[in-house]
Amino acid sequence: MAPLLGISISTVSLILLALNCLYIIINSKIARPVFRKKHVFYWFVFLVFWPLLATLYSTAINYRELVLQMYFFTLLLATAVYLLRNGFNSFHRIITAALIVTISGLILSMFMETFFQSVASITDNDLQYGGRAYGFFMQPNLAARSSILLFIIWFAGLRKTKTHIVFLALLGLLILVSLTGSRGGFVIAVVIVLLIFINKYLKITKPFKIMISPKYITLLLVFGCFLACIPLLLDFLTVTQSKPFSSFDVAARIKAISQMKLTEKSSEGESTVANRIDVFKHYSAMIGEHPILGNGFGSITLLQSEGVLGKSSHNQYLKIAFETGLLRLVFYLFLLVSLYFDPRRKRTEQSLQTNSYAQVITSVVLAGMVSNTVLDSRVLYCVMGCFIAMLISLPGNTGRYTSKGSIENLNHPVDSLELQYEK
């Protein structure tokens, strides 16, 4: 909403960075031990330390990107501190409000596009999306991914919910993402729905014995086939840029999504998949020149301005490897894997009664295969901060809590994290 008031996005980011730092300083009693927790520290290395190190061999320093990296980390840390200080229920109410605003923005962007014109003029966004919903994110694919992340954390807070409410929530997610016309986002939403469905309604009573009805067996078989086809499907996950909007508007996209038609031809008659393969080869060749350390943080923006690089990579992994090398890419994957295989993750999901960590990591991994802006999402760092906080707040055998590690402990402020379960 800031651009509507004539305030630039960069100014807003600086103000929010200052507010995040102020909040962290005020709550330093909680923030200091949180910062020392391994998952938070890993993100600090990835977002702040490594990019700063990479500027030493960059041809030019992109100060804007460096400030954004610091903002992203303070957002993650501030979110974790807020949740530990105020409890999960308080944070869940904020997420619920954010989801309502997101849904409202998506609907407004479809029917009141002129409302967003002033924002587009400041942010240099093209609003000609053929009727696709983009909301306050100003971009349909980003809106789809952010909506999925908000849904995951909102759904995690529901816990004990009747079956018909679960089905309505999952149906609503698919409809919401469909309105954005994002094919990659829709595939991610389908995978999230299947993960939730399987976790809630497939019960294994004995090894190799699953007590479910025939219709659930059919669903399991379909899901298995879908998993087997994921490598092929990912090759076809693409978002058009050159197709005239009049011939591939939101209605055509929703129809294509319903038919699992995940690619198209450009106005020149070329497959968009072929175009992305060419871009992939170009980026890969340049990565091969500096495979370990990369070409320097922020080098993509510089090389694109010089005409050396053309189109976007549409791949987060290519972007990381290109700018900061394969080592940082491996470290990024380690971040996600270590979060899932944390020994406290299972206890947290049992308390939440849903496989939220699997949902978040799956959505981030899949999104990274079709977009190079996954790590530019503010929502991502709020979600990561929340789920990291829920891990480190679980009590151990010697803590001041006496329960069995229920997530309800997060409804009480944390005065000291030194007694919490952490290795």
Question: Which of 30-44, 166-180, 193-207 has the lowest average pLDDT?
Answer: 193-207
Q: Give the phi and the psi of residue 268 in degrees, each rounded to 5.
A: -85, 0
Can you give the pLDDT at residue 346?
Answer: 87
Residue 114's alpha-carbon distances to 125, 126, 187, 371, in angstroms, are 13, 12, 30, 27
Which pTM does this prediction carry? 0.80
Can you give the pLDDT at residue 153?
Answer: 93
- On the question of pLDDT at 182 being above 50, the answer is yes
**Domain membership flag for residue 8:** yes
- On the question of pLDDT at 163 being above 70, the answer is no
Can you give the pLDDT at residue 272?
Answer: 60
Q: Give the phi and the psi of residue 128 in degrees, each rounded to 5.
A: -80, 75
What is the domain count for the chain? 1
* Predicted confidence band of residue 384 (pLDDT cuts 50, 70, 90): very high
* Predicted confidence band of residue 268 (pLDDT cuts 50, 70, 90): low
Question: Which of 5-14, 42-51, 264-273, 282-291 has the lowest average pLDDT?
Answer: 264-273
Q: Give the phi and the psi of residue 112 in degrees, each rounded to 5.
A: -135, 60
Can you give the pLDDT at residue 127?
Answer: 63
As a whole number of angstroms, the longest Cα–Cα distance in the chain is 67
Residue-number span of the structural domain to which 365 is assigned = 2-411
Nearest one of 127, 255, 231 to 183, comparing CA atoms: 255
* Predicted confidence band of residue 225 (pLDDT cuts 50, 70, 90): low
Token pair of 105, please? 């923005």
Model confidence over 63-81: pLDDT tens digits? Answer: 888 889 999 999 999 999 9
d(CA 71, CA 48): 9
Model confidence over 282-298: pLDDT tens digits? Answer: 778 888 888 888 888 87
Can you give the pLDDT at residue 202?
Answer: 62
Mean local confidence (pLDDT), 384-402: 62
Residue at 26: amino acid letter: I
Q: Give the phi and the psi of residue 39 in degrees, each rounded to 5.
A: -65, -40
Token pair of 23, please? 């909040």
* Predicted confidence band of residue 313 (pLDDT cuts 50, 70, 90): confident
Can you give the pLDDT at residue 245?
Answer: 42
**Domain membership flag for residue 419:** no
Question: Is residue 420 helix, strand or coil?
Answer: strand
**Domain membership flag for residue 423:** no
* Predicted confidence band of residue 233 (pLDDT cuts 50, 70, 90): very low
Model confidence over 322-381: pLDDT tens digits? Answer: 888 899 999 999 999 999 999 888 888 888 888 899 999 999 999 998 888 899 999 999
- Highest mean pLDDT: which of 135-139, 258-262, 323-327, 383-387? 383-387
Residue 80's alpha-carbon distances to 27, 170, 364, 382, in angstroms, are 11, 27, 19, 8
Long-range contacts of 162-168, Cβ-Cβ distance < 8 Å, separation of 24 or more: 166/196, 166/200
Model confidence over 195-216: pLDDT tens digits? Answer: 887 777 665 544 444 545 554 5
Please, what is the average pLDDT of the chain? Answer: 75
Q: Give the phi and the psi of residue 271 in degrees, each rounded to 5.
A: -70, 135
Model confidence over 90-139: pLDDT tens digits? Answer: 899 999 999 999 998 888 887 776 667 666 655 556 666 666 778 888 78
Can you give the pLDDT at residue 416?
Answer: 38
**Domain membership flag for residue 111:** yes
Question: Is residue 337 helix, strand or coil?
Answer: helix
Can you give the pLDDT at residue 136?
Answer: 82
Output 247 or 137, whichever has higher pLDDT. 137
